[in-house]
Structure 1
Amino acid sequence: MTETKIWTVNEMDAAARAIQRGSLVAFPTETVYGLGADAYNEKAVGKVYAAKGRPSDNPLIVHVADPEQVSDFAIVNERAQKLMSAYWPGPLTMILPVKPGVLSMTVTGGLDTVAVRLPDNDATRQLIRESGKPLVGPSANTSGKPSPTLAKHVYHDLHGKIAGILDDGPTKIGVESTVLDLSSDMPAVLRPGKITPAQIEAVIGMAIDSEVHHVADDETPKAPGMKYRHYAPDKAVYMVAPEDWTQAIIWMQSQLEPVGLMLTNDLIEKHQLAGMDFIWSLGDNNDTAAAKLFAGLRYFDDKKDVQTILVAAMPQVDVNGAYNNRLGKASGGHWISELLHV
């Protein structure tokens, strides 16, 4: 078994050397921790799929340190240039036509496109520069499980499977980047994230399709999170609308086993839950809720006596799109109403 090291940002040289020799290194971003490998090394990229248990037709996002790197392997159009100027570095992944013969099919999933982003994290951009390679970087977790927002989450899932983890503390945003397909005439959001459709439209000056989040079983997805089960703990997860919390708490109190509750501070105060066991605060607003969502799911997943997790859903508006998307996938689309009417 590989000994997985945890490196500080002051040990960047060791992390860069590991990348150069074809090993896997988890790296921090502003969204979640990614699992890095040299994007030009097909054997190293193959190790990413193996370590995560990831389906081989699920393409990988290539992370760069500078916008200029993108043209080494992808065709950059005018819309992409505008969005790079507006939102890079940042939580926006763009799907562009790939240059033939530069990246292996293990990176692209066999498609003629490639997903690329420039993360807003100084340590990771330094890692890319020092290793001299763009890095593939799916979330650094077991495939399908909640994404990691702390180095210890990565270690929990992947210790013994990867060379090391570059630890730069907790991620700021907590949910993965917006994925925008720019490879066809009509730009389309394939995965919602912090950057909203309205923000994208304001930059490129045209309407985009914001509802393309799923593919059929026989299709190859252009972006992560579109086809397979994602973000889900082993415990049963149910979404709770604001008006259903009173009933949800009554149901919770009737159970023989403890139930995990994940909700915002206003709901904790309203229902007098402060100080109670099995409460996970999602903070005060949609930004804190997104940042704390995956950590809360992991927290309750590790509690053996908790078998059910109830999580606050957010109003269906643009700024909550990423949070509700990840929660919907984690819950399999199940709502507390299903339990209340049994």
Structure 2
Amino acid sequence: MHPDNPQPRAIGQIAGLLREDGLIAYPTDSCYALGCRIGNKDGLDRIRDLRSLRGDHHFTLMCRDFAQLGQLVQVNNAVFRALKAATPGPYTFILPATREVPRRLQHPRKKTVGVRIPDHAVAQAILAALGEPLLSSTLLMPGDTEPMTMGWEIKERLDHAVDVVVDAGDCGVDPTTVIDFSDGTAEVVREGAGEPSRFG
């Protein structure tokens, strides 16, 4: 897949597979991620199993734009301005979830969810073709210290576990910078590819 001008036919096939509840490995502006439709419970379980995730793990809802993001989380004006200035980009924002987000995707106690808008042509093309957000998780395997960065390596290791590996070349090893806005003020939870000082 061309990293800057992804082929529309291939993107259409990926979107079709996602609609049929497939699970993909795909590139983002921080690192490769696993993704499936929000309503795909089997896909969620497959991601949990693949990554050996605990029940309280924060999943990320990958959004095409603010219109999608605004349907999933509650954002006041001050937080909206902070998010707008940093997106699209390698940031994940933890915010109170709306009723649109299935309970199984929310943090069990806080009722929050992670959202982000990626700055990557392939990820954006998939989101545009799908027409809805993607449930997403960094492709970091149990026991690994860094995410996998090469499509062929991902295919070699995960061919049996995912339905498609979208290879658009190396996209880095730093996961997103995570900012928790759940109580209205910014708390940097994890430093990653995005510059955290803008929220300091």
Q: Name the TM-score, length of structure 2 as normaliser.
A: 0.87
Query: Once the two structures are aligned, what percentage of the paired residues are identical?
Result: 23
Give the equivalent residue in structure 2 for 1:15: 14
Give the equivalent residue in structure 1 for 2:106: 108
Give the equivalent residue in structure 1 for 2:82: 83
Deviation by residue 1:56-78 (Cα, 9 ceiling, x = unmatched): 32121110111110111211122
Distance 2:105 2:153 in 1: 24
* Cα gap change, 1:120 to 1:66, in 2 (>3 Å): same
Measured after TM superposition, the shift of residue 185 of structure 1 is 4.2
Give the equivalent residue in structure 1 for 2:155: 155
Equivalent pair of 1:140/1:154 in contact (CA under 8 Å): no
Distance 1:109 1:18 in 2: 28
Measured after TM superposition, the shift of residue 137 of structure 1 is 1.5
Q: What is the SS of the residue equivalent to 2:174?
A: coil
Give the equivalent residue in structure 2 for 1:51: 50
* Cα gap change, 1:157 to 1:139, in 2 (>3 Å): farther
Q: What is the SS of the residue equivalent to 1:169?
A: coil
Distance 2:185 2:72 in 1: 22
Distance 2:81 2:148 in 1: 30
Please list, as runs of the form range in 1=range in 2, the aligned pairs for 1:26-105 lying within 5 A after superposition.
Answer: 26-100=25-99, 102-105=100-103
Measured after TM superposition, the shift of residue 55 of structure 1 is 2.3
How many residues align structurally?
193
Question: Aligned letter for 2:193?
Answer: K
* Cα gap change, 1:41 to 1:80, in 2 (>3 Å): farther
Deviation by residue 1:56-105 (Cα, 9 ceiling, x = unmatched): 321211101111101112111223321232121101111111013x2223
Distance 2:114 2:143 in 1: 19
Structure 2 unaligned blocks of 5 or more: none
Equivalent pair of 2:58/2:106 in contact (CA under 8 Å): yes
Distance 1:53 1:194 in 2: 23
Distance 1:83 1:156 in 2: 40
Distance 1:191 1:97 in 2: 18
Measured after TM superposition, the shift of residue 151 of structure 1 is 1.2
Give the equivalent residue in structure 1 for 2:24: 25
Deviation by residue 1:213-262 (Cα, 9 ceiling, x = unmatched): xxxxxxxxxxxxxxxxxxxxxxxxxxxxxxxxxxxxxxxxxxxxxxxxxx
Q: Which runs of 4+ in 1 moved over 6 A?
A: none
Measured after TM superposition, the shift of residue 24 of structure 1 is 0.3
Distance 1:109 1:147 in 2: 23
> Which protein has the larger Cα radius of gyration, Structure 1 or Structure 2?
1
Please list, as runs of the form range in 1=range in 2, the aligned pairs for 1:158-177 lying within 5 A after superposition.
Answer: 158-171=158-171, 173-177=172-176
Measured after TM superposition, the shift of residue 182 of structure 1 is 0.5
* Cα gap change, 1:153 to 1:73, in 2 (>3 Å): same
Equivalent pair of 1:33/1:154 in contact (CA under 8 Å): no
Equivalent pair of 1:139/1:148 in contact (CA under 8 Å): no
Q: What is the SS of the residue equivalent to 1:93?
A: strand
Q: Give the CA RMSD over aligned residues.
A: 1.9
Distance 1:122 1:106 in 2: 29
Higher relative contact order (CA 8 A, sep 6+): 2
Question: Aligned letter for 1:127?
Answer: I
